[in-house]
A and B are shown apart, each in its own frame.
Chain A
Amino acid sequence: MTVFHYPGLYLCFISQHLKKIFEYRLSFFIGIIPFILLQLSAIVVIWVIFKKVPHIAGFSFDEVLFVYGLGIVCYAFGRMVFSNLNNFGYRYIIKGELDAILTKPINPLFHILATDFSEKEIGELFVGIILIIKSIIGLKIHFGILELLALLYFLLNGIIIYGSINLIAVIICFWTKDIQGLTSPIMRIQEFSQYPVTIYGKAIRFVITWIIPFAFISFFPAVFFIRKEEFIGYIICIPLIGIIFPLIAYLLWLKGLSRYESSGT
């Protein structure tokens, strides 16, 4: 099994999952509605705020929408691809399903990620894309092939950073042997990063930039398109974070795996 086989294998897993979705079509449609409503309500809140004030921390309505829209797209994609990490503690550590994973000749982390896929975020994804298009038009950003490629790169990079953070949060389960790890506190912080980070105090800014680098997932990529000069130092760091963080996460994963104790049968 070489690296080149993995994309094909991933498609195989996903197609199995899609078969399941088609079988339960109604549940699919019901499942995506709350997520769309959630995002729409957040947008309404932003809109109401901008009815009262023209700028927040120097950001205009369309700029905030752009930041927010890119955030939705990155996080929705991230949650779709990494959804099985939510079950990691319970399913794989406590119930010991990692046993079966470890007896297969493919990368165990890949196997876990490919095993599940969340489709509920598809509605959010659309909301995000519409926001991005709307704000690009509103801000009159020049958007050519190069910008599109940059956007796709940032998207991929963002998903990888998101996955790494999520992975680190659940790897803790190897040591603590509980269900959640640090997922819910860490993933809550994520919500901060969907708005311009400059509206927060120094402490929060520092945390979501350098400790848990949520700001590199969507905020710094977003300002690349609208305020390059102001944040140039951070923008240069985006690819670095996109390499260093996954590396840290994967090393921790390997460390955790060697500590895996299975569960008694």
Chain B
Amino acid sequence: MIILKDISKNFKIPLKKEGLIGAIQGLFTRKYTLKEAVKSISFCIQQGEMVGLIGPNGAGKSTLIKILSGILVPDSGEVEILGFIPYRDRKRYTQNIGVVFGQRSQLWWDLPVYESYTLLKKIYHIDTATFNNRLEEFSELLEIKKLLRQPVRTLSLGEKMRCELIASLLHNPQVLFLDEPTIALDIIAKLKIRNFITEWNKKNNCTVILTTHDLSDIQDICKRIIIINEGNIVFDGEMDTIIKRFSNFRRLVVSFSQDNISPERIFQSFSRDEKVSLRELEIAKGNNNSYLIRFSDTNNSIISLIDNILNNFSVYDIKIQEPSIEMIIKLIYEKKVNLSS
């Protein structure tokens, strides 16, 4: 159970002047700008929920997850997780959570993976039988058995991330925080990690909170998402709502291999029915011989649309663009999409 009430966090950022003289001046007088990283955020998460925290760079996701995991002390507001106040009851609290930072390792760089795990075993007081069982199970599931004797520094990014994940789960935490766990990973590595997290959540009813700016991570794993922008919660609700609302904002990018294409010609190729069902249609010329087609996709007319284009023109390439998080946030702000219903 996670309860957050009016949590705020500001950072003082020193304004550094340029050059050596500026640096010397900075020794005596420093000016600061105040950055409000998180502004009065409240939410509640039940045990066993899987929640995605998304938002553009600098939205406050990482700050929030650092407050939740007890690293940062919030400036104001209340936070209570599993009955603990994270930054105050740090020792007892951290015994019950697992944290993975995609961009930071908690394994010992020079040591073989297995040695790192034995240190964690000591740190978390895991008894030997439990430790061996869990390690056996996890390394089987995540296919890292062969890597256990290798020094961490020799692992690839994807291998390392799987090892990190195990490191954060050996003590069977009740809450798992994942800060961009799939950053810079290829699709296969991403899938392995996603599947593992989903399975593990089902089995242990552990709460998972995940930040990312890859929407597909969240689609696969989370039922609920919280969208954050500029330190505020923009949306907090079911993933399905978002998917439904924003599938309208898919765009089709078509590169034609024939000349003499114009938006009018594309439009004319549509059947009468399509012209009726395709509302808010926009066709714009892109680079080279490609065209951007945007429309409000009410009854999955995208398929018939593609069909139509392929029948009438000679096409070199066709792409469906999903809306990016930046675009979703923009649309929510401009109130083009109503999420309240």
Residues of A near any B CB (own CB < 8 A)? 1, 5, 8-9, 12-13, 16, 19-20, 96-100, 102-107, 115, 177, 258, 260-262, 264-265
Instruction: Please give the distance in Å from A233's CB to the nearest CB on chain B.
Output: 39
**Total number of A-B contacts with CB less than 8 angstroms?**
77
Distance, CA A19 to CA B293, complexed state (A):
62
> Which listed segment binds A: B95-103, B276-284, B294-302?
B95-103
Asked whether, in the complex, the Cβ of A103 is within 8 Å of the Cβ of B69, the reply is yes
Asked whether, in the complex, the Cβ of B94 is within 8 Å of the Cβ of A99, the reply is no
Asked whether, in the complex, the Cβ of B72 is within 8 Å of the Cβ of A105, the reply is no
Residues of B near any A CB (own CB < 8 A)? 11, 14, 58, 62-63, 66, 69-73, 90-95, 97, 99, 101-106, 108, 110-111, 115, 118-119, 122-125, 179-180
* Chain B interface helix/strand/loop/mixed: mixed
Asked whether, in the complex, the Cβ of B122 is within 8 Å of the Cβ of A265, the reply is no
Chosen A-B contacts, 9 in total, with CB atoms closer than 8 Å, are A12-B118, A16-B119, A98-B71, A102-B71, A105-B93, A105-B123, A106-B123, A265-B101, A265-B102
Known A99-B104, A100-B105; judge A106-B71 contact (CB<8 A): no
Across-interface contacts of B108 in A (CB, < 8 A): 16, 115
The residue from B103, B106, B122, B124 contacting A12, defined by CB atoms under 8 A apart? B122
10 closest A-B pairs by CB: A105-B95, A103-B99, A100-B106, A105-B94, A102-B71, A105-B91, A265-B103, A265-B62, A12-B122, A99-B71
User: Which of chain B's residues has its CB closest to A12's CB?
Assistant: B122
Distance, CA A166 to CA B99, complexed state (A):
30
Across-interface contacts of B180 in A (CB, < 8 A): 265
Across-interface contacts of B99 in A (CB, < 8 A): 100, 103
Instruction: Please give the distance in Å from B228's CB to the nearest CB on chain A.
Output: 15
Asked whether, in the complex, the Cβ of B119 is within 8 Å of the Cβ of A12, the reply is yes
The residue from B66, B92, B106, B111 contacting A105, defined by CB atoms under 8 A apart? B92
The residue from A12, A99, A104 contacting B66, defined by CB atoms under 8 A apart? A99
Asked whether, in the complex, the Cβ of A97 is within 8 Å of the Cβ of B104, the reply is yes
Most chain B CB inside 10 Å of its own CB: which residue of A12, A20, A105: A105
Asked whether, in the complex, the Cβ of A262 is within 8 Å of the Cβ of B119, the reply is no
User: Which of chain B's residues has its CB closest to A13's CB?
Assistant: B119
Distance, CA A20 to CA B115, complexed state (A):
11
Instruction: Please give the distance in Å from B169's CB to the nearest CB on chain A.
Output: 13
Instruction: Please give the distance in Å from A230's CB to the nearest CB on chain B.
Output: 43
Asked whether, in the complex, the Cβ of B72 is within 8 Å of the Cβ of A262, the reply is yes
Distance, CA A177 to CA B30, complexed state (A):
13
Distance, CA A265 to CA B335, complexed state (A):
30
Across-interface contacts of A8 in B (CB, < 8 A): 122
Instruction: Please give the distance in Å from B24's CB to the nearest CB on chain A.
Output: 14
Distance, CA A258 to CA B74, complexed state (A):
10
Distance, CA A104 to CA B71, complexed state (A):
10
Across-interface contacts of A258 in B (CB, < 8 A): 73
Distance, CA A16 to CA B11, complexed state (A):
37
Across-interface contacts of A264 in B (CB, < 8 A): 58, 62
Instruction: Please give the distance in Å from B303's CB to the nearest CB on chain A.
Output: 40
Given contacts A99-B104, A105-B91, A260-B72, 15 further A-B contacts (CB under 8 A): A1-B95, A12-B119, A99-B66, A102-B69, A102-B70, A102-B90, A103-B99, A103-B106, A104-B94, A105-B92, A105-B94, A107-B91, A258-B73, A262-B72, A264-B62
Asked whether, in the complex, the Cβ of A16 is within 8 Å of the Cβ of B94, the reply is no
User: Which of chain A's residues has its CB closest to B167's CB?
Assistant: A100
Across-interface contacts of B72 in A (CB, < 8 A): 260-262
The residue from B62, B70, B103 contacting A103, defined by CB atoms under 8 A apart? B70
Asked whether, in the complex, the Cβ of A265 is within 8 Å of the Cβ of B179, the reply is yes
